[in-house]
Each structure stands twice: as C-alpha cells, then as structure tokens.
Amino acid sequence: MTLSMTINGQPRAAAKTREVPNPSTGAIVGQMPLATAADLDDAVAAAKAAFVKWSATPDDVRVKACVDIADVLHANAEELAQLLTREQGKPLGGLGSRFELGGAEGWARYTAGLELKPKILQDNQDGKVELFRKPIGVVGSITPWNWPLMIAIWHIVPALRTGNTVVIKPSPYTPLSTLRMVELLNTVLPPGVLNCVTGEDSIGALMSAHEDIGKMVFTGSTATGKKVMASAAGTLKRLTLELGGNDAGIVLPDAKPASIVEGIFWGAFINNGQTCGALKRLYVHDSIHDELCAVLVDYASKIPVGDGLDERSVLGPIQNRMQFDKVSRLVEDAKARGGQVLLGGQAPEKGLFYPLTIIAGLTNGIALVDEEQFGPVLPIIRYSNVEDAIAMANDNPNGLDASVWSNDIAAAKAIAARMECGTTWINKHAAIQPNAPMGGVKNSGIGVEFGEEGLAEYTTIQVAFS
C-alpha cells in the first residue's frame, strides 16, 4: 500500500518512501512518503492561500464543514479502523481502533457546535468596547503514534472551526491512517484548507520554525515538546503543547479493592498503557495494599493480549521497538532495585508483545516510578500516611492528571484539590470528554484542548473601541 500526501487538495507522491511495519506481526503495511522541504513549503503555501477565503467564510459554512468531517469519519470508520490497527497494533474492538474512530467522530461533532461569541466589555456614555476572536492563520499539527486519528481530529477540527487552515504531520510510526483520513476529509473541504505531509522528525522541525505557520499544536513527549518550543521561538508562534504525564493515583484506606479494581486496571492499561493521561504510578495505603495487589493481578491475568486484527484480543503490542526497549529497561532496573514482580515482568525474546506487568515494593527515586514508562506496566508504591502519599505524587516534574480512590467523596475531593496537575478524577482515571478542557502544568505542557477554552487557543484577540 502506497498512500499519497495531500497538498492543496491534490495527491502528492514522494521520490522516496519508508516501510511502515505492523507491530503485531512485523509484516509491512505500506509505504510512508518522505516529504522534502519543498513539499512542506508547498503545503504551507497552499494553506496560506486558502486561509484568505476560509477565514472569511460565514460561520455556518464552517460549522457544516466540521459536521461533514464527522459524517466522513462515520461513513469510513471501519476502513480507517482496520488500517489503524494494522499500523498501530491496537485491537479493533474494545477500547481499540473502532473506539478511537468513534471518539474522533464524537469530538468533531461536538466541536462543530462550539462558538466564540464577541464580548461587550463596555457600553456606556464613555463608548463601546468589544472583544473579538480572530483566526491565527496556518496551524501546524504534529501528532503522536498512540491515538493518531483521534488526536489528529483534536487538532484539525478546532483549527478549521475558528477559520484557520492546517498542515498536519503524523508520527512516522503511524502515518498511513492519517494520510487516508486526510484524503477522505478533502472530499468535503476546499482545496488547501487541510494538508498532510509525512516524513521523518526533520520535517517537524522545519514546521515549527516555518515563518508562514502561525501556530504549532503538538502532542507527544516533553523532550520533543521542548524542541518544538525552542524552534518556534524565532517566529514567536502561538503554541499548544500536550506533553508527558506520569499520572499518579492515590488509593485511600477506606477504598474497597474489589469495587475499584476494574477502574484502576483500565485507567493504567488503556491502549496498553500508551496514553499520556493513563495511570502510571499507584500509591496504595498499607491497610489494603496486599488485597488490592491480589485483585489487580487476578483481573489483569485474564485480559487477552494478541494481534489487533484478532477480534478476541483486548490489548495488543507495544507500538515500536524504541518504546519496547524503554519499557524493558525500566522494568529490569526496578527488578534490580528490589521491585517485586507480581505479574509479567519478563520481555519476550522476539516481538513487541510485552506482558502486562505489575510491580510492588517500589518507591520514588526508582526510574520506573519517576519516569513515564508509556507501556503495559504499573508500579505500586505502599504508603502509611496520606500526607506522604500526596507529597510523593506531587514530587515529579510532570503534572498532567491524577486520581484519588475512596468511598468518601468529600475527602477524596479535598486531596484531589492538592494534586499538582491539570485534571483530577475521583474513582476513575483517563476519562476525558470534549466539553471539559484538558491541559497540563509543569512539564506536561502549555495551553489546553477541548471545550470553549480549547477552541480559543486557535484564535487571537482583537479589541475594538467605538
């Protein structure tokens, strides 16, 4: 399979391509076009030219375009899900590729109905002052390999809804489903409004430094986000950066392990743990530590892991070798430093199917706890004093999300309010929705996505006095 890039509404082939493997089998799914700097310049020029008309398009027309995007996703969901599973590895069913396409459609539909109305700041004998939101121009989008289509829609739809145009570059690990999706979306969009280029990381660096891109939106690692921010500084671009998480969860002594085990498991292992907002470290009170570990191991041991195209699979492989090696390194280090492997913990000799792994007996200061593992591993840290648990949870450079697990909702909320992060949950984790803004603090990013607050990130303010 060889898919083309889309520039100014037309397919664009590349002189060179790179193979995209299926992480479940190693078989080649297709070829990724390797864009040149000239291809990127053409895509940005097309978006810049299209912006003139698109930004002046009546609001109801842009609303309809976003609804049309949702309709296209709905009509082509199974084709895109199949392609997504083949290149990403996640199962078709459950919380896999079909779930991701449903989320993409839902976010597009909800965002289509959002509106940023002018605000009257003053209207009296001294005059009238109004605040307007205006589109920025060309938006550059760089998306990750874990939820490639849903995150692409999180970037694309609010940008188009507010009158911007887009050049998107998907991860080189999962480019094919985005290439096909953009090709399909261009059947309902004017030429140049949505463009897609693919290639190595060097193309992303050119995007963030490009003088005709007015805003960059990036979802991925903190290390790469810092590079995006640095290269964007020369043109003072607007930025939205959703970066690493390493989310903490605190289980209070009154929690009932049997009641929370399912929520904790899926909070940690959704998408095989390859989710920025997944539960990455769990602090459990002494009094229920052993019981919770036992029921969690029992639950996890029954989850089928296998090829994503097998409808019986519930979880799949780690998506790429680099991430697999990182997970393996962190687990081996934790074992060497006294970690007690309760489940899994042994990398296979071949393939990318790392076993679901639960490790107890750890503390802050061990790499598996301190770093975001981004894989199917959950470290469990025992605590005796809740103040210590809060301090340990906050003792991390990241601050995306956190959760508190308890029967006492008021007590849980009080603790959640002290967590240094952008989102907190009570008795759940990784539960996001399109009307609730999401963004991190500390090293977990800049800006927010979703809802009116996320929509406003794609605009500049103009204040008018009359």
Catalytic residue IDs: 242, 276
The set of residues, in sequence order, having a beta carbon less than 8 Å from that of 318 and lying 6+ positions away, is 23, 89, 272, 274, 324, 327, 352, 353, 354, 375, 376
Tokens 């095989």 correspond to what residue?
A: 272
DSSP string, 177-244: HHHHHHHHHTTSS-TTSEEE----HHHHHHHHH-TT--EEEEES-HHHHHHHHHHHGGGT-EEEEE--
Element housing 46 (H / E): helix 37-54
Residue 238 phi/psi, 5-degree rounding, is -70, 150
Element housing 397 (H / E): none
Distance set, CA 383 to CA 115, 370, 412 (Å): 46, 16, 16
Assigned token pair, 180: 């096909």
**Dmax of the chain from CA atoms?**
78
Element housing 138 (H / E): strand 138-142
Under DSSP, the state recorded for 4 is: P
Distance set, CA 173 to CA 64, 69, 331, 385 (Å): 32, 24, 24, 43
> Cα–Cα distance between 425 and 415 in angstroms, integer?
11
- Contact (CB, 8 A) for 400 and 277: yes
**β-strands 459-465, 127-135: how paired?**
antiparallel
Residue 231 phi/psi, 5-degree rounding, is -75, -20
